[in-house]
Structure 1
Amino acid sequence: MAKEKNMNEFSYDVLTLDCEKETRRLTAFVAEAVGRRLHKQGAVIGLSGGVDSSVTAALCVRALGPDKVIGLLMPERDSHPDTLRLSQLVGESLKIRTIHRDITPILTGLGFYQEMTSCLQEVVPEYSEGWKWKISASELSEDRVFTFFWLVVQSPQGEIIKKRLPADKLLRMIALSNFKQRTRKMLEYHYADRFNYAVSGTSNLLETDQGFFVKLGDGAGDFKPIAHLYKSQIYQLGNYLGLPAAITKRQPTSDIHPFAQGQDEFFFLLPYQQMDACLYGEKNGIPPESVARAIGLGVERVRLMYKQLAHRRTANEYLNLPALYPEPQD
């Protein structure tokens, strides 16, 4: 899959894909999974306008044909305007059928927006409708590999207020935000049932390994063709597959909160290229000193990232587990 590796020294070359070979392998996997193992007629993909879902859709098109792939466009009122525009662009470039389902009415019916506003006002009393907000993560330190989180709000006049989130408020806000991903996955399975299609997952290796997904939400799927790939490898595939430059040059965003932010601010703390390097180094036993030299970070910062990667993998292990059953008795 990637170039030959020296286990004591890191170079970004180890993450370079043979895109032609990997595309053949993954399209064969999709065809086998959908048709012969799942016995379905096609694939449903939730399109976000990001590179992961776009590459997944492109692989499905190569494996199944454009007439056997449905892209769902599922923005809500807090989504960035680019989300719908870029999702439509992907659908058009791949010549697949797209279905637009704005999930705002569903979230409104669940009481999501009202309860989220109430929660935000408990932390920042000044907050009101029309303000923007996001959650940002703290930096690591030698004595603390876990992160704490800040609530950052912006008034219509541009005033910024930043307050540390108590654990109970953080959990409540995450639980509410997870409604979005679970609502989208519910719609994906609705259309999969309707057309006898399978649902494709779109998580990459970093997200799967670290638990950056919602259980029974964006982490769900009948098959997951890119779950083994580093983010930088998915960008390589996106270029090889001829996706629009607006997709392959777009930086990863969470698009969870109305105040725009990148994934490195919300969860991963580093740009995806450096996170890929740290994850590869940590998983393959490469000394932090080697990774630090290659990516331009201090050795201590990389050492801390290794610790956090291991900590998060253990803490979020349950997200990847199937339901637990008692052992049968004789």
Structure 2
Amino acid sequence: MNKYNFNVEKITDEVVSWIQNWIKRNGNELTKVIIGISGGKDSSVTAALLVKALGKERIIGVMMPNGEQKDISDSQTLVSHLKIQNFTVNISKAYEGIQGSFAEAKIIKDLNNQTNDSFTNVFKTNTPARLRMVTLYGIAGQIGNCRVVNTCNLSEDLVGYSTFYGDAAGDFAPINKLTTEEVVAIGDYLGLPMTLTHKAPSDGMCGKTDEDNLGFTYHEVNEIARKNIKSENYEKIISKYKANLFKVKIINLPCYKPNLPLFLDI
């Protein structure tokens, strides 16, 4: 296998070309792309790649806070920087509606032997993510001739840090096989604000960064994936990788695949 060498200009051009070709095969010159804008590096870089590939007029950004989102200004910075059409859809009523329906059906009490009425952290994290994907497809259905883009990266997928049929869903996935560090490099190359590209990754819901929750860094994951360099957290990372591999195998989205070393089967 080739030695790892990331050429940001070459890879960026390849991703842009891949997006253009995929849309040509699965749409037409009027097809628009809908993207959820979180204010983080993944959605920011993906949006910038889409604009470069298709033009800003064909990109629709959607901000989807669940009630109050403290960093919503980052999302607004991104859509203003790219000058793309955008909407804000607050999913809080939908989320509260599902919680209320669960309560009416007595699902929580029955499943917890009537000892706990509270919702689990898994529910509170994954349900909003899935509602956001429902929102994107709902807008696509209203507009017509639209494709929904996936914004997950390789590092997240390797350790299962995405929501099954939530942010892990979509029609196509431009950065799905690029690591966090590669995504940041592309964002810097495209001239995105560094406050977005170098922002600590977070789901925006639990108050912690991804790496706080995982117990290791994405850099460690990337070193294993691209260079086969093992850190002290290697076993923990591989355990996460093995436990979550089925998600990627099931949701096998069309994606750009760079000619770069990959030491984990995904």
TMscore range, shorter length:
0.7 to 0.9
1:192 aligns to what? 140
Match of 2:213 among 245, 262, 266: 266
**What's the offset of the Cα at 1:38?**
4.6
Alignment of 1:228-239 (within 5 A): 228-239=177-188
Does residue 312 (structure 1) correspond to residue 240 (structure 2)? The answer is yes
Maintained 8 Å contact 1:107/1:113:
no
Alignment-mate amino acid for residue 43 of structure 1: V
2:262 aligns to what? none
**What's the offset of the Cα at 1:211?**
1.4
**What's the offset of the Cα at 1:78?**
5.3
2:63 aligns to what? 73
Structure 1 residues 105 and 170, CA, compared in 2 at 3 Å: closer, same or farther?
closer
Match of 1:216 among 161, 165, 169: 165
Q: Counterpart of 1:44 in 2: which secondary structure?
A: strand
Q: How far apart in 2 are the matches of 1:262 and 1:34? A: 33
2:221 aligns to what? 275
* Count, aligned residues: 238
Structure 1 residues 191 and 271, CA, compared in 2 at 3 Å: closer, same or farther?
same
Does residue 51 (structure 1) correspond to residue 41 (structure 2)? The answer is yes
**What's the offset of the Cα at 1:171?**
9.0
Give the TM-score normalised by the residue count of structure 2.
0.81
Match of 2:193 among 227, 232, 244: 244
Q: How far apart in 1 are the matches of 2:119 and 2:225? A: 26
Match of 2:15 among 22, 26, 32: 26
**What's the offset of the Cα at 1:169?**
10
Maintained 8 Å contact 1:66/1:96:
yes
Maintained 8 Å contact 1:61/1:69:
yes
Instruction: Pick the structure with greater CA Rg.
Output: 1
1:165 aligns to what? none
Match of 2:50 among 57, 60, 82: 60
Maintained 8 Å contact 1:279/1:309:
no
**What's the offset of the Cα at 1:114?**
9.5
What 5-or-longer segments of structure 1 have no aligned partner?
Answer: 6-13, 120-167, 293-300, 324-330
What 5-or-longer segments of structure 2 have no aligned partner?
Answer: 109-115, 252-266
Maintained 8 Å contact 2:221/2:237:
no
**What's the offset of the Cα at 1:105?**
1.2
Q: Deviations over 1:270-324 (max 9, x none)?
A: 233333224434xx4x4x3xxx5xxxxxxxx2xxx2222322222112212338x
**What's the offset of the Cα at 1:191?**
1.6
Alignment-mate amino acid for residue 27 of structure 1: V
Q: How far apart in 1 are the matches of 2:179 and 2:118? A: 28
**What's the offset of the Cα at 1:25?**
0.6
Maintained 8 Å contact 1:213/1:219:
yes
**What's the offset of the Cα at 1:34?**
1.8
Q: How far apart in 2 are the matches of 1:113 and 1:17? A: 49
Q: How far apart in 2 are the matches of 1:277 and 1:251? A: 18
**What's the offset of the Cα at 1:35?**
2.6
Alignment-mate amino acid for residue 23 of structure 2: V
Q: Deviations over 1:193-217 (max 9, x none)?
A: 2231111100000111221111110
Give the TM-score normalised by the residue count of structure 1.
0.66
Alignment-mate amino acid for residue 66 of structure 2: E
Maintained 8 Å contact 1:46/1:188:
yes
Structure 1 residues 88 and 112, CA, compared in 2 at 3 Å: closer, same or farther?
farther
1:90 aligns to what? 78
Percent of counterpart pairs with the same letter? 29
Maintained 8 Å contact 1:34/1:43:
no
Q: How far apart in 2 are the matches of 1:310 and 1:38? A: 38
2:90 aligns to what? 102
